[in-house]
Structure 1
Amino acid sequence: MADPFLIGDEMTGGYGAADILHGCTVAVEKGEIAVIVGPNGAGKSTAMKAVFGMLALRGGGVRLNGEDITALTPQARVAKGMAFVPQTNNIFASMTVEENLEMGAFLRRDDIAATIEEVYHLFPILREKRRQAAGELSGGQRQQVAVGRALMTRPSVLMLDEPTAGVSPIVMDELFDRIIEVARTGISILMVEQNARQALEIADKGYVLVQGRNAYTDTGKALLADPEVRRTFLGG
């Protein structure tokens, strides 16, 4: 069987001597949304960092479009088409919105104007605020800047670590709608999300991690319908 478009396969690793991930596998197909959920301390963000190359693996590997990229640095993975939006410190606060977007295209040598237009089409509020310092924006708007900046690399994979952390339910729904739009353009989305129920509603694939291991893996709909998953992880 062919690999999924992106797979972190049987990943084992952590920080220092202690392993946080124990044979954990997460994957996403082209143009699909895969969501990693689970309790605090389950290794969700660690799994994302491992896939992006921010964590040395002691076992397992990462493959993108059939190529083994386990040994590549995060910068080299960006050049291969991966983009990562961390949960915090993900914008240049003193720069304008538009300058943030331009910074996202630092690897490109072509005209970026059309991509900036695409980001403004996706997030119309950013066009309105393009001359404003990004640090002055609301939390939800800052997240839009962070996602927009990542999209400036024209990635094939967009990785989001807790994209709706600290935003209101209305802003969360709007961000999820935009994430669905991004996936429809053919970009694969792998994200960690604390709002598990809402995230699984938009997910093609869901991974429930517990203590760095895969506890449940299925479609988002199947996980939402699983009574054990609902009782243990989704509050009934």
Structure 2
Amino acid sequence: MSQAFLSATGMRGGYGKADILNGCDLIVDPGQIAVIVGPNGAGKSTAMKAVFGMVSLREGTVLLDGQDIAALSPQDRVRRGMGFVPQLGNVFPTMTVEENLEMGAFIRSDDFRATLEQVYHLFPAIAGKRRQNAGELSGGQRQQVAVGRALMTRPKLLMLDEPTAGVSPIVMDELFDRIIEIARTGISILMVEQNARQALEIADIGYVLVQGANRYTGTGAELMADAEVRRTFLGG
């Protein structure tokens, strides 16, 4: 059996003295799409930020490719293979699309032009707007730029916080299709998503969080077939 690329177990912590996470576990295998769903305030984004080192943990272990990364800063975690796309403020609006993507290559000392062309191939809608300021793009196009910039670091684990927030259903479907394509290249995906039903349809594994703890864990298909999950979290 292959070793999980991400193994975050027993995570307990939050902001200040308040614990948002209460023993949360997140395991992602290589090339897997893992989706975190749950009600508002369940700790979904906090769990992802804890994995990325943006939230302090009082307890728990975060292993990346078998290595304990608890002492590493978010910047060092990027160098180890993590890419993170926050929900808000995820592009530089006064910089062009291409400048945004080039910012993603800041940790690289090699020629990144091949990766740039791969991003444009993955997201053709922004390829024709490479000289346009990112702030002038539609919400869906800005999300593509944000994901593309994270891909420029050549991550092994790509973390997406609400990637389809505020976009139309058509754009949401397109983004999910691109996420599937990214995972097929061997990149692991960890995604927080409010559109739970649609996200679970593409998930290899799903985590339903409630009050910072795992309530249900299973494949996307298993969670979709669970009557209690459907009734409580998927609208019936």
Counterpart mapping for 1:115-194 below 5 A: 115-194=115-194
Q: Secondary structure at the match of 2:89?
A: coil
Question: Counterpart of 1:208 in structure 2: which amino acid?
Answer: V
Amino acid of the structure 2 residue aligned with 1:57: L
Task: Name the residue aligned to 2:64.
Answer: 64
TM-score norm. by structure 1 comes to: 0.99
For the residues of structure 2 that align with 1:15 and 1:141, how far apart are their CA atoms?
32
Separation in structure 1 between the aligned mates of residue 14 and residue 210 of structure 2, nearest angstrom: 15
SS at match of 1:98: helix
Q: Secondary structure at the match of 1:39?
A: coil
Provide the C-alpha distance between the structure 2 equivalents of 1:186 and 1:31, rounded to a whole number of angstroms: 4
Secondary structure of 1:171 counterpart: helix
Q: Secondary structure at the match of 2:9?
A: strand
1:41 alignment partner in structure 2: 41
CA deviations on 1:98-123 (whole Å, 9 max, x unpaired) are 00000000000000100000000000
Deviations 1:156-212 (A, max 9, x none): 000000000000000000000000000000000000000000000000000000000
CA offset digits 1:66-125 (Å, max 9, x no partner): 101111110110000100000000000000000000000000000010000000000001
Alignment length (residue pairs):
236
Give the structure 2 partner of residue 81 of structure 1.
81
- 1:97 matched residue in structure 2: 97
The code of the aligned residue for 2:133 comes to: A
Letter in 1 for 2:148: G
SS of residue matched to 1:131: coil
What is the SS of the residue equivalent to 2:47?
A: helix
Which residue type is aligned with residue 102 of structure 2? E
Q: What SS is found at the alignment partner of 1:199?
A: helix
1:226 maps onto 2:204 in alignment: no
- With over 3 angstroms needed to count, the CA separation of the structure-2 counterparts of 1:142 and 1:62, relative to structure 1, is same
Is 1:212 paired with 2:212?
Answer: yes
Letter of the 1:127 counterpart: A
Given the two structures, how large is their TM-score scaled by the length of structure 2?
A: 0.99
Give the structure 1 partner of residue 112 of structure 2.
112
Q: Report the identity percentage.
A: 76
The runs of 5 or more residues in structure 1 that have no matched partner are none
Cα distance 1:123–1:48, how it changes in 2: closer, same or farther (>3 A)? Answer: same
| Partner of residue 12, structure 2 | 12
The verdict on how the C-alpha distance between 1:20 and 1:3 changes in structure 2, with shifts beyond 3 A counting, is farther
Amino acid at match of 2:75: Q
The one-letter amino acid paired with 2:136 is E
